[in-house]
Amino acid sequence: MDSDSFEILPVSHGDQAEIEDLLDLSFGLGRRVKTSYRLREGQIAVDGLSFLVRDSALGLIGAISFWNLCIGHEGVPALLLGPLAVHPDLQGRGVGRALMTRGLDKARELGHQLVILVGDRPYYSRVGFDIVPDGQLLMPGPVDPRRLLYLELTPGALAHVHGQVLSPGRYRESTAERLSALAVPHG
Ligand SMILES: CC(C)(COP(=O)(O)OP(=O)(O)OC[C@H]1O[C@@H](n2cnc3c(N)ncnc32)[C@H](O)[C@@H]1OP(=O)(O)O)[C@@H](O)C(=O)NCCC(=O)NCCS
């Protein structure tokens, strides 16, 4: 199989169990303890931004998804890229890069401005990701700061974004908690 011989397809609901199996194979069964998973809990992947590559003989060989995030007190929107996984037997053939490129192109088309992820810079820098300046973004758990990466889909998108990175659900809860802590009791 070479890079001309695979087709990137949108993920549909029925693909999910197979994708979970691929993620277990690629990342191991302990993958859910990672901080990135705190950002996906209770959420669903962004509609129209999940893609896969399937081989008629080998089945599912790669998948990618993106998730909405809210950053800082203002809840500035951004995307989390990942998980991205390619079957161990078929790595190094351009499937990962093709999935990323398709996802990022589509995200740009949909008007998203900023993407972050936790991953290996030597790999993701190939499509333009760089390390988030130290302390600019706070993740909801431990992350090696050299692995917290960003890509601006609109130039300058990171410059005005600071603070806690949360899922939209968690952001709504934390905003409600903040407002109720500030509220003056009646009576
Ligand atoms: C990382 C991953 C998605 C790459 O997919 P892939 O289809 O093999 O990647 P591509 O074919 O597009 O690119 C291969 C190139 O990237 C390099 N590469 C792959 N993983 C890398 C990493 N972690 N760090 C640096 N370079 C890496 C390869 O050495 C190869 O280099 P070459 O082009 O100079 O030969 C795949 O290896 C994988 O699923 N790994 C396990 C899960 C994982 O770590 N996912 C990413 C974190 S979200």
What is the CATH number for 38? 3.40.630.30
Report the candidate in 157, 166, 76 with the shortest Cα–Cα distance to residue 113: 157
Name the band, by pLDDT with cuts 50, 70 and 90, for residue 49.
very high
Residue 13 located in a structural domain: yes
Please name the residues in contact with 77: beta carbons below 8 A apart, sequence gap of 6 or more. 68, 69, 70, 71, 112, 113, 114
Nearest residue by C-alpha to atom 39 in ligand 1: 85
Q: Looking at 31-35, 44-48, 123-127, which range is the least confident one?
A: 31-35
Per-residue confidence (pLDDT) for residue 178, from 0 to 100: 86
Mutate to test the pocket of ligand 1, among 21, 117, 123 (most ligand atoms within 8 A of CB): 123
- Ligand 1 mean position to 128 CA, how many Å? 15
Nearest residue by C-alpha to atom 41 in ligand 1: 26
Mean pLDDT, residues 46-63: 94
Per-residue confidence (pLDDT) for residue 183, from 0 to 100: 82
DSSP label of 141? S
Residue 17 located in a structural domain: yes
Residue 2 located in a structural domain: no
Query: What's the mean pLDDT when you consider all of the chain?
Result: 94
User: What's the number of domains the chain is made of?
Assistant: 1
Residue 1 located in a structural domain: no
State the residue range of the domain holding 23.
8-182
Name the band, by pLDDT with cuts 50, 70 and 90, for residue 61.
very high
Please name the residues in contact with 1: beta carbons below 8 A apart, sequence gap of 6 or more. 55, 90, 93
Q: Which residues have any ligand 1 atom within 6 Å of their CB? A: 26-27, 82-86, 91-97, 119-120, 122-123
- Ligand 1 mean position to 123 CA, how many Å? 6
- Ligand 1 mean position to 72 CA, how many Å? 31
